[in-house]
Structure 1
Amino acid sequence: MQILHPIPDEALPRATALWRAHFGLMAWPRHLRPLHGIVAVGPSGQVLGVMGLRDASGGAPAAALPAPPWLFRPAPPTGDLVIDGLAVSDPGQGTGRALVAEALRRARLRRHPGLRAEVRARNRGALAFYDRLGFAEEARGRYGLPWWGQVHVLRLAA
């Protein structure tokens, strides 16, 4: 498995499709921003996983969420590098762990104080995954769109 950043042009359509399958709404986003993503690619070029990254310059989706801005409630501001969605095609194979390790390396290179994940409370698998990697809960609230419900803000120091 290779971990690549930015997302190469040849992997971008498959990476976007995988991200959208997990997080997309109403055919959104059509494209991910390659510089705001990391991709795990298998030996035959298949996309095994993708992670979006968000910082002060924006996040992985190449266009805004198709909802009125007043409807979306962002999590508290941070200087951390934020995981803007993590999706893998076959969980339990180490792909997610490898993507987080690369994101942490990038956070350190960019001098971010930490790596942050914002996870829906009902996503118990993701919460357990981040807990195993050493993330600690920093806050809880109703962030994102109203129907997302409670969100845990998790952090790992860089």
Structure 2
Amino acid sequence: MTIHGDHPFLPPESERSPVRRLRGRLPSPVGLWTTAYGGKRAGLTVSSMLVADGEPGFVVGLIDPDSDLWEMLQQARTAVVALLGQPHQQLADAFGYVAPAPGGPFRMIDWTDTDWGPAPLGVTTWAGCTLVDPHPPEVGWALQVHLEIAHVELAPDDVPPIVHRRGRYTVL
């Protein structure tokens, strides 16, 4: 067995997309989007997202059209968008499908069922949202999904958020 200093599946720098490399230099929030429908749950780590203030407010995210999350979100029409902190890096990797999660990532921590989907216990900042359009536009490799914010949870003892930059997590 060989231990690599770099990611073993990362293509050489000369073969990487310059647009993806530009995006990777931007610090991005690490969000966990979850939903439930018909007794099943789905979730995905999303770092290509932003929150738009207003009445109502919106969360806009780039979602993989082939993800389990998108398939279930189209049916459920509701989602929880949780902002992850330093204690949740393994959870982010599991829902991002870059780390193992025996039994599935929903078994890693406890959850609270809400009107919008499962909310992770121990995550102090999250929003309950409704899907705006079940047929969002394609943007690059993803779908530009708009969620209307219906409910926001902000705990006073907020955990410092993690951000994703150049393939690594950093705490603000």
Q: Structure 1 length normalisation: TM-score? A: 0.29
Structure with the bigger percentage of helix: 1
- Where relative contact order (Cα < 8 A, 6+ residues apart) is larger, the structure is 2
Structure with the bigger percentage of strand: 2
Higher gyration radius (CA): 2
